[in-house]
Amino acid sequence: MSRDLKNNISPVPSLAPAARTAAADGVGVDLANYSSAAVVIEAGTATGTTPSFEFEVQESDTFGSGYTAVADADLDGAEPTVTTANDEGLFEVGYRGRKRYLRVIVKTPTGTTPNLPCSALVLRGSPRVAPK
C-alpha cells in the first residue's frame, strides 16, 4: 500500500465554486468502494446586511433522490453556519454514516442581499483497492 495521502483519497466536488445568494443543492458523490469520507467547505467573504449561510450534509441510498440530513451522531464535527464573523475559512466535517451517496447543500440564506462565494468537496478516503 502506498503511504502517501494522494493515493488514498479521492476529492470530488459537491458544490461547485460560485457566489451563493440563494439555496443550492450540491451534486451527490458516490462513496462506493471507499470506507471513509469527509466534507470540506471553503467560504469566501460574506457580504450583505447580517448575512447567514447554513450548510447541511445530506445522505441517500439513491443518486438522484431521497436525500435527508445526516444525523448528528453520524458526523464528526458540526455543519457550519457562515456569517461575517467566521467567513473566509475552511470548515471540515467527518462522515460516519453508511449511505452510498453524500452531498452538501446551502439552505436559504438570511439577511439582506446575502452573498457568499463558497464551494464544498467530499473527500472519499480509505479506498478498498489502493495503489501499491
- Domain assignment present for residue 132? The answer is no
Query: What integer pLDDT is reported at residue 132 of this predicted model?
Result: 59
Among 111, 91, 126, 112, smallest CA distance to 15 is for 91
- Domain assignment present for residue 107? The answer is yes
Q: Count CB neighbours of 11 within 10 A.
A: 13
Examine the pLDDT at 130 and tell me if it is beyond 90.
no
User: For 19-28, what is each residue's pLDDT tens digit?
Assistant: 999 999 999 9
User: For 46-100, what is each residue's pLDDT tens digit?
Assistant: 999 999 999 999 999 999 899 999 999 999 999 999 999 999 999 999 999 999 9
Phi-psi region of 126 (alpha: psi -120 to 50; beta: other; left: phi over 0): left
- Domain assignment present for residue 30? The answer is yes
Q: Which three cell numbers stand for residue 67?
A: 436525500
Q: Count CB neighbours of 86 within 10 A.
A: 12
Q: In the chain, how many domains are there?
A: 1
Q: Count CB neighbours of 94 within 10 A.
A: 15
- Beta-strand pair 47-60/81-83: antiparallel
- The arithmetic mean of pLDDT across residues 12-34, rounded, is 97
Q: Do 111 and 49 form a contact (C-beta atoms < 8 A)? A: yes
Q: In CATH, what number is assigned to the domain containing residue 29?
A: 2.60.120.1110
- Domain assignment present for residue 90? The answer is yes
Residue identified by cell 448528528 is: 72
Residues spanned by the domain of 81? 6-127
- The arithmetic mean of pLDDT across residues 20-45, rounded, is 97
